[in-house]
Amino acid sequence: MAETSKVIHIRNVGPEISENDLRELFQPFGGIPKLVMLHAKNQALLQMQDVSSAVNAMQFYTNVQPTIRGRNVYVQFSSHQELTMMDQNAQGRGFQALIQYDAQQNAISARTSIQIANAAAITEAFGGALPPGISGTNDRCTVLVANLNPDRIDEDKLFNLFSLYGNIVRIKLLRNKPDHALVQMGDGFQAELAVHFLKRARLFGKRLDINFSKHPHITQGADAHEYVNSNLNRFNRNAAKNYRYCCSPTKMIHVSSLPQDVTEEEIVNHFEEHGAIVNTKLFEKTRKKQAHVMFENEEQATEALVCKHATSLGGSIIRISFSQLQTIRENSQ
C-alpha cells in the first residue's frame, strides 16, 4: 500500500458517477476541500481535510466494497500529499493547474466565460451567425418555467431538457406554485438559448411558458437540486460542437452511446410508451452504434427525451438529443 496521505486515488469512476456521488461516499469521514475528476481515465483524486480522515475512510473501505450507482469503485492512497497541480501525465493533455475560487459560483462563471470567449467559434457553430432573436449579450442566468405538469415533472426531467442548451447549475421546483420551476444555467448566453428554443415547447400536455427570472441565481438549499458537478452536463467538453445541435424540439430524437448489439426492436420497446413511433433507424458512426427515432409529433419526442435521457438500455447509459433531420433516410447519419 502507498504511503498514507490525505489524498485518495479512486479508480473505475464511470461517466455516470458525479463529484457529488464521490463526496457522499467520503463525507462521513470528514471534510473534502478538493476533488479532481480525471474523466479520460475514469479516475478521480479526492483530498480529505487531514490524514486521519483519509486513514479512517481507507480502513472502512478495506472491509466494505465502495459502490456508486451499481458500480464498484476502488480506492487507495495517492502518491500526492496535497492537490495543487496535476502533473503532466494526469490526463495526458500536458500541464494543468487547479485554481480554487472563494465561491463555487465564481468558478462556474469563470469556466463558462472561457468556454464562450471565442465568439467566432460560437457563431460558426450556428452557421456563421447567431439565430434571430439571440443577442449573445444577456447576463441573466436563471429562467422561470411556468405551466408545468406538476404530476409528471421533476428536477431531473427538467435537467434533461434544459441541458440541451447549456450546463445546469441547479434547479428548484417552487412548492408554493407547483407548476413553476427555476432553472439556473451556466451563463446568460446559455439561458438565452433555452428561452429562445423552448418558448413554444409542449411537455406532458402543457405548453411551457419560459422567461428570464428576476432572481440572478438560485439559493443553495435542501429544496434546490445541484447539478453543477454532474457528468451529464453536455457543455463541459467541446462546447462549440454542442451549440451546433441546439434547436427547438423536433419529432426526431438522436440516440447515442447505444450497446453494439442493440436491435431496433429493443429501441422501440424502450421508447414506445411515450408515443407512436413512425420510424427508426440504427447506424454506426465512428464505430459507435447510434439511432434515429421519429415520433408523430414534437411533444412525444420531448417526453421521450426528458424521461429516457441517461437511462440504461442493454447495460449502456444512453444519451438523447433532438435531431434536425426532417425524415429518416436510408443513408441518414
Q: Which of 135-139, 161-165, 213-217, 317-321 has the lowest mean pLDDT?
A: 135-139
CATH number of the domain that residue 28 is part of: 3.30.70.330
pLDDT at 333 over 50: no
Q: Give, in degrees to the nearest 5, the angle at Cα 128 between 124 and 131.
A: 100
Please indicate, yes or no, if residue 179 is contained in any of the structural domains. yes
Confidence at residue 328, expressed as pLDDT on a 0 to 100 scale: 84
Confidence at residue 286, expressed as pLDDT on a 0 to 100 scale: 81
38-46 average pLDDT score: 88
Q: Quick check: 78 and 48 in contact, CB under 8 A?
A: no
Confidence at residue 156, expressed as pLDDT on a 0 to 100 scale: 97
Confidence at residue 329, expressed as pLDDT on a 0 to 100 scale: 75
Please indicate, yes or no, if residue 171 is contained in any of the structural domains. yes
Residue 86 — pLDDT band, cuts 50, 70, 90? very low
User: Cell match 451529464: residue?
Assistant: 232
Confidence at residue 141, expressed as pLDDT on a 0 to 100 scale: 94
- Distance between CA atoms of residues 54 and 61, nearest Å: 11
Same structural domain for residues 160 and 199? yes
Supply 250's cell numbers.
423536433
Please indicate, yes or no, if residue 223 is contained in any of the structural domains. yes
pLDDT at 271 over 90: yes
Share of the chain above pLDDT 90, in %: 58
Helix, strand, coil % over all residues of the chain, rounded to 5: 30, 25, 45
Please indicate, yes or no, if residue 87 is contained in any of the structural domains. no
Please indicate, yes or no, if residue 272 is contained in any of the structural domains. yes
Same structural domain for residues 64 and 129? no
Q: Quick check: 146 and 208 in contact, CB under 8 A?
A: yes
pLDDT top residue among 265 and 125: 265
Supply 167's cell numbers.
450546463
Same structural domain for residues 133 and 189? yes
Torsion, CA 313, CA 320, CA 168, CA 124, rounded to 10: 150
Please indicate, yes or no, if residue 221 is contained in any of the structural domains. yes
Same structural domain for residues 165 and 231? yes
Same structural domain for residues 136 and 191? yes
pLDDT at 92 over 60: no
pLDDT per residue as tens digits for the range 203-241: 999 999 999 999 989 999 999 999 988 989 998 877 778
The parent domain of residue 51 ranges over 7-80
Please indicate, yes or no, if residue 312 is contained in any of the structural domains. yes
Helices and strands of the chain, counted as H and E runs: 9, 21
Of 244, 271, 299, the last residue of a domain is 244
pLDDT at 254 over 90: yes
DSSP one-letter string for 136-175: S-----EEEEES--TTT--HHHHHHHHTTSS-EEEEEE-T
Q: Which of 34-48, 98-112, 255-269, 272-286 has the lowest mean pLDDT?
A: 98-112
Confidence at residue 165, expressed as pLDDT on a 0 to 100 scale: 96
Same structural domain for residues 191 and 263? no
Average pLDDT along the chain: 87
Distance of CA 258 to the CA centre of its chain: 17
Residue 130 — pLDDT band, cuts 50, 70, 90? confident
Order of strands across the sheet with 43-47? 34-38, 43-47, 7-11, 74-77
Residue 90 — pLDDT band, cuts 50, 70, 90? very low
Q: Quick check: 46 and 35 in contact, CB under 8 A?
A: yes
Same structural domain for residues 231 and 120? yes
pLDDT at 314 over 80: yes
pLDDT at 127 over 80: no
Of 47, 80, 113, the last residue of a domain is 80
- Distance between CA atoms of residues 318 and 308, nearest Å: 8
Confidence at residue 170, expressed as pLDDT on a 0 to 100 scale: 96
Same structural domain for residues 109 and 212? yes
Q: How many domains does the chain have?
A: 3
Residue 85 — pLDDT band, cuts 50, 70, 90? very low
Of 80, 114, 135, the last residue of a domain is 80
Same structural domain for residues 230 and 130? yes
56-67 average pLDDT score: 88
Please indicate, yes or no, if residue 327 is contained in any of the structural domains. no
Please count the other Cβ atoms lying within 10 Å of the Cβ belonging to residue 227: 24
Confidence at residue 120, expressed as pLDDT on a 0 to 100 scale: 60
Same structural domain for residues 190 and 218? yes
Same structural domain for residues 110 and 233? yes
Residues contacting 91, CB < 8 A, separation 6+: 38, 39, 40, 41
Same structural domain for residues 232 and 149? yes
Whole-model pTM? Answer: 0.66
